[in-house]
Amino acid sequence: MAPNAKPPVCKVMNYGKYKYEMSKKEKEAKKNQKVINIKEMRMSPNIEEHDLNVKAGKTIEFLKNGNKVKVSVRFKGRQLGHTEAGRKVLLKFAELTSEYGTIDKQPKMEGRNMVMFLVSKND
């Protein structure tokens, strides 16, 4: 109980009962934790308006559930020369979902993808 005391003090106890109480405390701590899942939305730089709206609707659903959303634009071939088109798509997407979420990380190139993270506003 008190290892630094002079003389050392200890307590005689039932080890099985002690382990049981510790496991109950751990379960209680786990119950209070909030798990944040990361969902991903992928699109291309030349996505059509309706497709963008459908994906925005699904993303809003994710944000309402408290999930973090990774929005990525994948570039293929010559599209890599026009990354500004992907940035425009991501910023427009952020504008569509701005009522429910905010930009956590600004659009940034990662290899062939441009990635942006959105988080729920109610956090």
**Bond preceding residue 107 cis, omega within 30 of 0:** no
pLDDT at 32: 80
Q: What is the edge-to-edge ordering of all strands in the sheet holding 68-74? A: 38-43, 68-74, 113-120, 101-110
Could you tell me if 53 and 15 are in contact, meaning their C-beta atoms sit under 8 angstroms apart?
no
Which CATH code for domain 38-120?
A: 3.30.110.10
pLDDT at 1: 62
Q: Give the residue ranges of the chain where pLDDT is below 50.
A: none
Query: Per-residue pLDDT tens for 53-76?
Result: 999 999 999 999 888 999 999 999
